[in-house]
A and B are shown apart, each in its own frame.
Chain A
Amino acid sequence: MASTMAGKGRGVGAFTFNIDALGIGRGNMPEARVGPSPLFPSTDFKPVPLKAGEDEDYMLALKQEMRGTMQRLPYNIKPQSNKAGEEGGELANKDDPEKSDEETEKKPRNEDEEEIEEEEYEEEDIEEENDYIESYFDNGEDFAADSDDNMDGEATY
């Protein structure tokens, strides 16, 4: 609505159309925005507290134990780094834009630095929460380490 800007001092609050025809009055306008929407909606009533008791505590313990146990059972399949059998996955990846993270990053990574463990590697990239491959970016770690070695080869300014 260009209403407020078109006024130029003369009837600043005037609308360019007939407000009465819509059936709403000046008082029913939504409030002007003062910032981004809040993260969580405001609630008039606080939620009822959780039930607490022996039964609930026991079931909580059962739940957490069960989760831990099932993560250690062989039914929990870890994404492996299969260097040899990568072909099948690789060919499928070329057609399918939605690849799993481990599939895309596995191949270049395995070629470069094989000694780095799978978990550590996945950790790093999941931490970043993006698809960028860690090794492509220089994070400056090598700066201080190498400077002593290459002193005689490089000019100092």
Chain B
Amino acid sequence: MTAQEVRLCGLLLQEHFGEVVEKVGTHLLKSGAQNLRTIIHETGLSVDLVKKSLCVLVQHGATTFSSGRKGLGSPTEYHTSCDRILRILRYPRYIYTAKTLYGDTGELIIEELLQRGHTTMSSTVKTVADRLTQNMAEGRTMDYTEVSSTFSKLVETHFLQRCPPLPGVGNKDSSAPIETPATPGTPAAPVNTAPPTPESFPECYKVPSVTLIGRGKRQLASEDGEEQRSAKRAKMDPETHGDEGIYWQVNFERFHLHFRDQTIISAVANKLDQTSSEIVRTMLRMSEVTTSPMATCTKPLSANEIFRSLPPSYNILRPILDQYLTLLVDDPMEFVGKAGESGGGMFVVNLHRALANLARATLESVVQERFGSRSARIFRLLLRKRHLEQKQVEDFAMIPAKEAKDMLYTLLSQNLVQLQEIPKTPDYAPSRTFYLYTVNQLPTARMLLQNCYKTVANLIERRLFETKESKRLLEKSQRIEAILASLQASGAEPEQLTEVEEMITAPEKQQLDTLRLHINKLDSAENQVDETIFLLESYINSTNASS
């Protein structure tokens, strides 16, 4: 992990889990796997705090534990990696996607699971039902079965998965894994070096048979008797639902596949037209279950099959479909490829090629926005032609020599373009050496990805700075809001309310508005940089898979 990744992870941990967890997490990120005693000694925190922090990190999947490197009997070691922590940036996107696919119920289920890390189905269903009931009209409540069915749908489509059972109970060769809740600190039996993926366990996507009968409870603050009763019931609630010990987590990889598909579809819609994107959407939908996550392209689909599977609202004629498919195959973005002639033509969606081309478009766009369209022209030229001499760059790009030289040197200093020396003589004499400019897409993408991490970290720091600067004002406005709320609840006169409102002066209100605007901008920017991060990460990971 790079310094930028560690810095960003530290900020994310701090914002969501506090300074203590941040300290432990950052320490583990920098130092690699360590056992409990070493962590305590090196962070200087108390045993209690370190244990709690480790629990939180394990609960949220950021840290895994395994038996020590020295073999049986050596203390458990904890290992933290950046990837899972960086996912925190994408939480809003996961929740919003769940909303678009499964409505408010799906949205709240995913939100609960993201906030709690690992939970059981029964507790999630109950909490979500309560929350939904809260927002419903007076007298209406949400039934548990409805929430359960949405939960099951999320599991069936693999958006949720069971947490892998822990090593230590039985040997690692057992075919029927025993489900145990996450309890860090239990001595572990020797395991393989690579932690088992959740999908390596056969019951990963099996919904347990739970008995969940009931409806959501509305929190009624005004009725004290009922509040006491429900509070008492929560404490003494020994209801078991048949799924104790079965914990669920969000399957981020499945969401990422969905995002990837969405990105390809919207790219087709932007570049070509709506109908083309619907065709690609249909192809991807048909290939959802037959395509493995790391596949280079989808399984071939015949034009006949595609025609039959198009949504009913798109009644285009068969020859038109063929024309669209030809158009898609010929497009330089190479989203769709032709894999054969049977069945009216066999077509595939080139997943890896599409990702690479989308990443390339991102790089080009970055160069264009930072250095201008002529520099972008040079950059695109080098991407296409691989190696060019300075003179050739000037000629092909049709840019005067002096300016072309300037732009090339600027791109070179920013490491977006590299210089390749090809000597004619063994002594590398400058006059007898070819100097070729070149762009390597993969290393450049990695570099930009690191820039993105740095950008998000800077955005977070700036937001914290802005909040700190106006801390007193923010606290004052929060106090006044609280006073207003309590006055309104107890039925105060309008004059009293205006009097309290006037405690904030007009310039202060303006300052607060400006602050709110800045914070919203910075937050929104974080979300949007994460879209670029996702694209670049997907591209880089796809090259790992195929190599």
Residues of A that sit less than 8 Å from B by CB: 43-45, 47-48, 50-52, 55-56, 58-60, 62-64, 66-67, 69-71, 73, 75-80, 82, 85, 88-89, 92-93, 96, 98-100, 103
Contact = CB atoms under 8 A, between A and B. Distances in A.
B528 A51 contact: yes
B40 A75 contact: no
B111 interface: yes
Contact of B42 (A58, A59, A96): A96
Contacts of A98: 44
Nearest to B89: A63
Interface stretch (B297-305, B391-399, B497-505, B518-526): B518-526
A98 to B, nearest CB: 7
Q: Which are the 8 A-B pairs with shortest beta-carbon distances?
A: A62-B92, A59-B92, A70-B16, A63-B92, A77-B20, A76-B18, A92-B44, A96-B44
Contacts of B21: 75-77
A94 to B, nearest CB: 10
B524 A60 contact: yes
B17 interface: yes
A76 B46 contact: no
B45 interface: yes
Interface stretch (B51-59, B170-178, B226-234): B51-59
Nearest to A46: B369
B19 A67 contact: no
Interface residues of B, number: 45
B524 A79 contact: no
Contact of B523 (A45, A60, A80, A99): A60
Contacts, number: 111
Contacts of B528: 50-51, 56
A70 B115 contact: yes
B405 to A, nearest CB: 14
B47 interface: yes
Could you tell me the dominant secondary structure of chain B's interface residues? helix
A59 B52 CA distance: 31
B130 to A, nearest CB: 15
Nearest to A74: B56
Given A60-B524, A60-B527, A62-B91, 14 more contacts: A43-B370, A44-B371, A44-B372, A60-B92, A62-B95, A63-B527, A66-B115, A70-B16, A76-B16, A77-B52, A78-B20, A98-B44, A99-B44, A100-B19
A91 B53 CA distance: 20
Contacts of A77: 17-18, 20-21, 49, 52-53, 56
A78 B18 contact: yes
B217 interface: no
